[in-house]
Structure 1
């Protein structure tokens, strides 16, 4: 291991935070171009299932490649293995299972898919390289309150995310078209319950890892998903006159 690489990984983490802030600003200026906001016939679109699988897959494949090509010395320690497993479990579900569950779905613009793919390569490398080579934890870190609370938040957030996606997939009965107001679960309190789950998940991961790299990923996720949630919230208010006005955007009782 090169000592300077640890500093480089810190720099990449700070850059990820800056990219999150920049992305948040850009999303306020330019709407996301997929799903309900996509053109009916995008000039260069990728089928929804293929797009989600391809763009998320690097976050699973890159860490496996990073660990396979090096000694991955820090993975001899349980905290590092558990933290990397938390990251991989999310993206195994996101890249291998979630796309198969999509019902229909509009094609995703190629550039949107490419941006997501690039970020997943970047972040997949950052998290896995740090955990496999540089993150130093005491062997009893898995009993530390920060790890335990963080792990619980990660697990709860992932379950919220999966359950909320299930609700969204089942809004329409077979043969129905158009959009409906989501009901049930945390959708009774916020517009973007699925995004809330993901924010909680990665904040838990950041707490459990207690690292700049984990914190940067949580910060990036928060910046991007809050902006998308605001866009969704405004869309629902404009489209449905009976949309519940008491619902928050993404964080129950707060935002």
Structure 2
């Protein structure tokens, strides 16, 4: 009875008709739809940069004390949208269609690029969430922003690799797959190097957190930071690139996507993803550096930079 009332409602009926028309138009004109989404995507780095310059992202040590979601749940939920949308968009024949490219032949380049995306997010979504000793509660605002961006980002990068960038960018001037070209190999090397940097320094942080949770030893290098709802213990990270910068895990992620841009021959979605990553992580790294200097004072190394060794 309730379903019948809803479907017979004039407003709902109009909404369903318009939705059907939109889906039909998108299936027939996906290139135009893709370009419209890219216009939105173009402004994301600017929004991220403007937001992070004036507002410190409200999670981790900078969390707000209201409208918070459990950290591990929020992280797993928000980051899952990127690989799910990417996989769907990579294999689907037409957007909003249940038909996949059953007879499609993917090039080696396409398979490598798609695999890199899936591997990165498998680590970011599943492995990172499982291995992290804890993830601080996350305010609902960055969760919603992340979901919106991950949908756009996953879609545009997947469709560029699987469809729109294939003929003009993923083959060389002789019509050969670019997977053996020096540029593609260089991009792959840089991507893998960035991933190693990211994972290695995540491991250092995990080890520090585990030791802090298990140890009650007092040390001058350990600080108890009291927030409204909790008290957290922090230690100055050392080892690897932590000896030179505050956020080497952020640095590693930026290196990853620089490699991805090179490997995709400067794909527009990949370039915008790199710009959004830089706009998001660089101000956060600076906020972290300032926080450590404020909380630890002279104990924090004065020559340590925020995110780029010896530079910034």
Task: State TM-score, norm by structure 2.
Answer: 0.75
1:75, distance to aligned residue in structure 2 (A): 5.6
Instruction: Choose the corresponding residue for 2:45, options 15, 20, 29.
Output: 20
- Unmatched segments (≥5 aa) in structure 2: 1-25, 94-99, 216-231
8 Å contact 1:207–1:215 — kept in the other structure?
A: no
* Residue of structure 1 equivalent to 2:21: none
- Unmatched segments (≥5 aa) in structure 1: none
The higher-RCO structure (CA 8 Å, 6+ apart) is: 1
User: What is the alpha-carbon distance in structure 2 between the residues aligned to residue 96 and residue 135 of structure 1?
Assistant: 29
* Residue of structure 2 equivalent to 1:103: 133
Instruction: Choose the corresponding residue for 1:43, options 66, 80, 105.
Output: 66
8 Å contact 2:90–2:161 — kept in the other structure?
A: no
Larger radius of gyration: 2
Alignment of 1:149-228 (within 5 A): 149-172=186-209, 173=211, 174-176=213-215, 177-210=232-265, 211-228=267-284
Return 91-100 or 166-175, whichever deviates more: 166-175
User: What is the alpha-carbon distance in structure 1 between the residues aligned to residue 262 and residue 72 of structure 2?
Assistant: 32
Aligned-residue Cα RMSD (Å) equals 2.1
* Residue of structure 1 equivalent to 2:121: 91
* Residue of structure 2 equivalent to 1:82: 112
User: What is the alpha-carbon distance in structure 2 between the residues aligned to residue 74 and residue 188 of structure 1?
Assistant: 48
Aligned length: 253
- Residues 252 and 75 of structure 1: is their aligned pair in 2 closer, same or farther, counting only changes over 3 Å? farther
Return 85-94 or 63-72, whichever deviates more: 63-72
Three-state SS of the structure 1 residue aligned to 2:257 is helix
* Residue of structure 2 equivalent to 1:238: 294
* Residue of structure 1 equivalent to 2:222: none
Return 113-122 or 195-204, whichever deviates more: 113-122
Task: Tell me whether 1:143 sits opposite 2:180 in the alignment.
Answer: yes
1:12, distance to aligned residue in structure 2 (A): 3.7
Runs ≥4 residues deviating over 3 A? 1-15, 71-75
Render the CA deviation track for 1:35-82: whole Å, top value 9, x for unaligned: 10113xx33222111111111101111122223432458762111121
- Residues 2 and 105 of structure 1: is their aligned pair in 2 closer, same or farther, counting only changes over 3 Å? closer
Three-state SS of the structure 2 residue aligned to 1:85 is helix
Return 58-67 or 4-13, whichever deviates more: 4-13
Task: Tell me whether 1:248 sits opposite 2:305 in the alignment.
Answer: yes
8 Å contact 1:157–1:199 — kept in the other structure?
A: yes
User: What is the alpha-carbon distance in structure 1 between the residues aligned to residue 127 and residue 113 of structure 2?
Assistant: 21
User: What is the alpha-carbon distance in structure 2 between the residues aligned to residue 62 and residue 254 of structure 1?
Assistant: 36
